[in-house]
Amino acid sequence: MSRMPVAFFGHGSPMIALETNDTTQAWKAMGEAFGKPKAVLCISAHWLTQGVGVTAMTAPRTIHDFGASFPKALFDVQYPAPGSPALAARVAQLLAPQPVVLDQQAWGLDHGTWSVLSKVYPDADVPVVQLSMAASKPPEWHFELAKRLAPLRDEGVLIIGTGNIVHNLPAMNWGDRHCAPYDWSRRFNDYIKQSVADDAPERAVNYDSQGQDAAKSVPSPDHYWPLLYVLGARLPGDTATFAPDHIEYGSLSMTSVTLAPAA
């Protein structure tokens, strides 16, 4: 099997799982371009832990980790992809000496994973494993840890991160999904995109160098960190493509990144 790409998906409201729009069509096209991997390893913004854990059950549950105000149709969504205890064990092996908890029942697939994969692989026929993020660690630590995952790409595993380059919910213009981005939102999104295009991950790792643009775009790091895992798993010869590539509600970046060997 040829080397799998690595990808970051900018994800928005879990409601996108019920929608068909330009973003979901782009995600579908990404899945078709990737082909069907042996398995998916996902780093979601929604699984933060004290240490590092990986789902190791054979049938991960679909977690509806959002408020009761969302419609019943969203709570009814199931993404019954199988798990892969073998991949979980392989991840733990690669990340050693970092201790990794093999989680057999506590977690599953949260909406950061299934809202995206339901569009990328709608048949839920690809095994999926989630890797948690250690909440107390700095950006550099996450980026360096992710480098150890790169061998999976030559083993048929698609590594994805799901989050947002810009994720400021209080600043969002909830009344206009397609409004112009705030200036600080656009500048920061463009800065990070350029760092990826230039293969200059140190700029993305040290994102807080961008002052108030960074502070407003990344008020908390949970949705940003998954991008660092994708950049950590980048290999020489990978080129970057950006699609979909836009900002919704003024301060929610839906920009997605694919890193793959040049054709």
Q: What's the DSSP call for residue 171?
A: T
| Alpha helices (runs of H) in the chain, residue ranges in sequence order | 22-34, 72-75, 85-95, 111-120, 139-147, 183-197, 201-205, 211-217, 225-232
| CA dihedral of residues 84, 114, 97, 257 (deg, nearest 10) | 120
Element spanning 211, H or E: helix 211-217
Give the β-pairing of 48-49 and 133-134: parallel
pLDDT at 184: 98
pLDDT at 2: 86
- How far apart are the C-alpha atoms of 164 and 9, rounded to whole Å? 8
Give the contacts of 53 (CB within 8 A, at least 6 positions apart): 47, 100, 101, 102, 103, 106, 107, 131, 132
pLDDT at 1: 61
pLDDT at 192: 98
35: left (phi over 0), alpha (psi -120 to 50) or beta: left
pLDDT in tens, 39-93: 999 999 999 999 999 999 999 999 999 988 999 999 999 999 999 999 999 999 9
Q: Which of 229, 231, 205, 230 has its CA nearest to residue 218?
A: 205
Strand, coil or helix: 88: helix
pLDDT at 263: 73
pLDDT < 50 stretches in the chain: none
Superfamily of domain 6-261: LigB-like (3.40.830.10)
Place of tokens 């973003």: 23
Q: Do the beta carbons of residue 7 and residue 158 sit within 8 Å?
A: yes
